[in-house]
Amino acid sequence: MNSYSIVAEGLGRRFGETRALDGFDLRVADGSVCALLGPNGAGKTTAVRVLTTLARPDSGRALVAGFDVARQPAEVRRRIGLAGQEAAVDEILTGRENLEMWGRLHHLRAAAARRRAGELLERFGLSEAADRRVRHYSGGMRRRLDLAAAFLQAPRVLFLDEPTTGLDPRSRTEVWRTVRGLADAGSTVLMTTQYLFEADQLARQIAVIDGGRVIADDTPERLKSLIGGDHLDLVVRDPARLGDAVAVLTGVAQAEPVADADARRLTAPVRDRVGALTTVVRELERRGIEVEDVSLRRPTLDEVFLSLTAEAAA
Amino acid sequence: MSALAAPDAPPRWDERLRWTLSDASVIARTNLKHWVRNPAAVLNLTLYPIVMVVLFGYVLGSAMNVAGGGDYREFLMPGMFSQTMAMGVMTTMTVVSLQTARGVTDRYRSMPISRPGVVLGRAFADIVNSVLELLILLGCGLVAGWSWHRGIGDALAAVGLLLLLRFALIWVGIYLGLALTPEAASAAWLPLLPLTMLANTFVSPALLPGWLGAIAEWNPLSATVATCRMLFGNPGRQGDSWAAEHALTLAIGWPLLITLVFLPLSARRYRRLGG
Ligand SMILES: Nc1ncnc2c1ncn2[C@@H]1O[C@H](COP(=O)(O)OP(=O)(O)O)[C@@H](O)[C@H]1O
Ligand SMILES: [Mg+2]
């Protein structure tokens, strides 16, 4: 009967003059992964803090696992796990001691806490480092230990605030694998991120947040088609030919190409990746326009925002 | 373990009590483990009293007079005991602000953990720490020629008063630890240390200039120091202000008042942390 693990309706939260949340609406279905995507200061952490009962909303309401975060915080707390922006690991303890401690604080008996710690260390790929002090762990290992602690009692809903920020690419991949594992185990996951690519990797639902409100909420595919999929970049050798190159690119682009005259660079969103690339290269050659670089890439978060805010204004 | 398994019904009062005690013991044990595994902290704890006794008892003590007569080191030790208890607020504050900065406090707050349990655990660990500190300091004092002269009962009562002061300061430490960044918390000894000295810890207020002497007599620390001197049978004549004449009342009253003010304040701050 209760098919949404997270329901937020018109959440508002001010800090002095700043509206950290300003009419924040979100629904996340049971058992799914939702990425809350937005730049620094968009309100991601505030949203997570309100949903995990750490901060009170000024207005609106939110249900997590079916319970009101403001009126039934104790019920919510029994059903959620939180991995905050900082890894809340204890450097002086070993990885195993960390998890045993959180297990005991989740009121498992000593033997059960030990067993659960062993299980989680195995599952999060930390068995080998289990008895080393966390002080000697890499950034990725700390993160995974923190995720293991958040997952300790196999919560209905997991909140992960920027779980990969500050990690090197390899650790990031490890954390991604971990997050997928958490979702496969049945938890509903709300994670925040600043990277469209990361959201695309992990989530079937991406909610884009800006200025404390969700400005787009869709599947990655629809969101990408909304914002024009991949981008084609090209750098022209001769600045005088920039205008000709714009004409070529306009033929395949979904939107007006953006030109940066100083860098002799053109950018435009394209839909048919390989088709567009082939056409552009052939046309440039036919017209004798020399290029230094041609590349296809995913849109950056800035471009996502530009097109979404343009959409909203139109 | 399935992620979708519903939690059991809300706990009954007896189970909540059991959880409070169990949470407290987990947190206390973790804190004590920290402390044992940190050689710098252990060294600090043992060396600090020795250095202080040598510095104040011997280096400065040779030039010190006790108002009303008596041996300076006999006069000094109750002051040092109390000062050490007062500076213990630094320990509480530092740990709490570090845990808050690292998100540990937030994880506690997002869990079905017993809130009184968290605080009891913290308090227990800090008191154990202070008891050890006090024992080492008592040992140093005995080596330096200090002693108690009124029987073990009074001596234990004095120790009880010292720990009562430390207990009251736990709430101040939690409150400040939740409010300050770790950097600010570790710099707090700077205003704190003079406050512990602007009392009857190292000199008799009677020997201080008028207004400083008045502040020193009313300093909460002075009440504990004066009462300890009295209970240990150590020298140190009191002034004749109301505060000096009611030292015992104040030695109990101040800590109670501090607890009464800062316990609710720190509980409120914990509930509302970061909005
Ligand atoms: N405790 C606070 N006090 C004052 N301002 C805050 C506080 N928390 C957040 N803010 C402000 O609210 C806005 C949203 O912050 P936050 O939720 O941390 O964004 P994000 O996590 O997306 O970077 C920012 O402008 C931030 O400065
Ligand atoms: Mg944030």
Min distance B102 CA to chain A CA atoms (Å): 5
Q: Which spans in chain A are helix H?
A: 44-51, 73-77, 95-105, 110-123, 139-150, 169-184, 196-202, 220-226, 242-250, 273-286, 301-313
Report the pLDDT value the prediction gives residue A254, as an integer from 0 to 100.
83
Give yes or no for residue A1 having a pLDDT over 50.
no
Question: How many angstroms separate the CA atoms of B234 and A77, rounded?
Answer: 54
For chain A, list the domains and their CATH numbers: 4-89+137-224 (3.40.50.300), 230-297 (3.30.70.100)
Mean pLDDT by 10 residues, chain B (275 residues): 53 86 95 88 81 86 79 92 94 93 93 90 93 92 92 96 97 96 93 90 83 88 95 84 88 96 93 80
What does the pLDDT average to over A212-228? 83
Report the pLDDT value the prediction gives residue A13, as an integer from 0 to 100.
97
Q: Determine which helix (DSSP H) or strand (DSSP E) holds B227, and give its type and residue range.
A: helix B220-232
User: Mutation test of the interface with chain B: which of A85, A86, A105, choosing the one with the most B Cβ atoms within 10 A?
Assistant: A105
Residue of minimum CA distance from atom 25 in ligand 1: A41
Whether ipTM tops 0.90, in short, is: no
If 0-12 CB within 10 Å is exposed, 13-18 middle and 19+ buried, where does residue A136 land?
exposed
- C-alpha A249 – ligand 2 centre gap (Å): 38
Question: How many angstroms separate the CA atoms of B27 and A102, rounded?
Answer: 10
Question: How many angstroms separate the CA atoms of A147 and B32, rounded?
Answer: 25
Nearest CA among B130, B120, B91, B122 for reference residue B104: B122
Nearest CA among A286, A291, A304, A283 for reference residue A225: A304
Portion of chain A with pLDDT greater than 90, in percent: 70
**Are A54 and B102 in contact (CB < 8 Å)?**
no
For residue A44 and ligand 1, the question of a CB distance below 6 A is answered with yes
Min distance B135 CA to chain A CA atoms (Å): 26
First and final CA of chain B: distance in angstroms?
34
Q: Which ligand is nearest to the CA of A54?
A: 1
Q: Which ligand is nearest to the CA of A84?
A: 2
For residue A46 and ligand 1, the question of a CB distance below 6 A is answered with yes
Residue of B nearest to A147 (CA): B107
Give yes or no for residue A309 having a pLDDT over 50.
yes
User: Mutation test of the interface with chain B: which of A67, A107, A122, choosing the one with the most B Cβ atoms within 10 A?
Assistant: A107
Within 8 A by CB and 6+ apart from A102, the residues are A149, A152, B107
Nearest CA among A42, A37, A152 for reference residue A88: A152
Q: Contact, A82 vs A56, CB < 8 A? A: no
Residue of A nearest to B8 (CA): A78
CA atoms A180, A181, A186, A190: torsion sign: negative
**Are B5 and A185 in contact (CB < 8 Å)?**
no
What are the beta bridge partners of residue A82? A159
Report the pLDDT value the prediction gives residue B12, as an integer from 0 to 100.
82
Q: Which ligand is nearest to the CA of A43?
A: 1
If one residue of A17, A21, A22, A45 were mutated to test the ligand 1 pocket, choosing by the most ligand atoms within 8 A of its CB, it would be: A45
Rounded mean pLDDT of chain A?
91
Q: pLDDT tens digits, residue range A184-215?
A: 888 999 999 998 889 988 999 999 999 999 99
B238 is written with which tokens? 């009191």
Contacts B4 to A, Cβ<8 Å? 31, 156, 186
Higher-pLDDT residue of A31, A221: A31
**Are B26 and A104 in contact (CB < 8 Å)?**
yes
Report the pLDDT value the prediction gives residue B50, as an integer from 0 to 100.
84
**Are A15 and B275 in contact (CB < 8 Å)?**
yes
Contacts A101 to B, Cβ<8 Å? 26, 30
Report the pLDDT value the prediction gives residue B3, as an integer from 0 to 100.
43
Query: With bands split at pLDDT 50, 70 and 90, how would you rate the model's confidence at A245?
Result: very high
Higher-pLDDT residue of A112, B72: A112
- C-alpha A174 – ligand 1 centre gap (Å): 28
Higher-pLDDT residue of A142, B60: A142
Report the pLDDT value the prediction gives residue A159, as an integer from 0 to 100.
97
Nearest CA among B34, B32, B168 for reference residue B89: B168
Q: pLDDT tens digits, residue range A266-285?
A: 999 888 888 889 999 999 99
Report the pLDDT value the prediction gives residue B229, as an integer from 0 to 100.
95
Residue B201 phi/psi, 5° resolution? -60, -50
Nearest CA among B169, B193, B36, B197 for reference residue B93: B169
User: What's the pTM?
Assistant: 0.85
Question: How many angstroms separate the CA atoms of A44 and B168, rounded?
Answer: 38
